[in-house]
Copies of this chain bind each other. A is one copy, B any other.
């Protein structure tokens, strides 16, 4: 069980009291966000809440940013440790039968788990999933609770001792992995697939796209093999170098990647007062 849990308005010590008709539990009907916490500061919280509220509108969930922000503040205050991992889960709440049925009250779960420093900058071996990312679905651009494709792909990768699975989309273009955006580095430029390729608009991804010589564009699988380096981004690992794909070694430029990692860590230190690299 997570160290600190807030559910529908209050800190809870044991299990959640969940309505058996909650559509989060029955249908994966909701969205979530995952954030790093340093010094009781949720990193890039406004970006995460912006994205969550936009996702809520796409799915027709009633968004209430103030309630989410208030719950986050309570959890950060009660958490036993200053650093951690925050997950915010918003479901459509209990409803009548029927996929299009409306609900009266969404459910909101906010959980704080211990930070694990071994996640940062650890290299990854990827395998290509046989599941294609479904870029025709809005869900391919959201962090919805319907994660079964990601789970199946992650389990298949783990079974062959890989760290994560690469999704191509139905055009055969590179999309993302099960938990991260993907970038290539080439001739001093970084590039990452467009959201229209079936990709979540990652917050760490966005921070890198704000840098010079960074672009969103279609990326082919062949470009992964010929890149100077390939890396993953997400809100917990920040940057993860990719050292192989389907057993083939990839180009490595750990000095350049360390530079991007450094930039992100310094940005987080500015915001939270703590450099992630200094946390045990």
Contact A100:B155 (CB < 8 A) given known A27-B147, A132-B170: yes
A235 interfacial contact with B, CB 8 Å = no
The answer to whether B147 and A29 have CB atoms under 8 Å apart is yes
A268 interfacial contact with B, CB 8 Å = no
Chain A 147-170 interface mask (CB, 8 Å, partner B; 1/0)? 111111011011000000000001
A111 interfacial contact with B, CB 8 Å = yes
The answer to whether B97 and A85 have CB atoms under 8 Å apart is yes
The answer to whether B99 and A150 have CB atoms under 8 Å apart is yes
Most buried by B among A12, A60, A138, A152: A152
Chain A contact residues, majority secondary structure: mixed
Closest chain B CB from A154 CB (angstroms): 4
A59-B148, A131-B137, A132-B137 are known; give 11 further A-B pairs, CB within 8 A: A16-B20, A17-B18, A25-B91, A28-B147, A98-B154, A99-B155, A99-B179, A132-B170, A134-B137, A144-B148, A145-B146
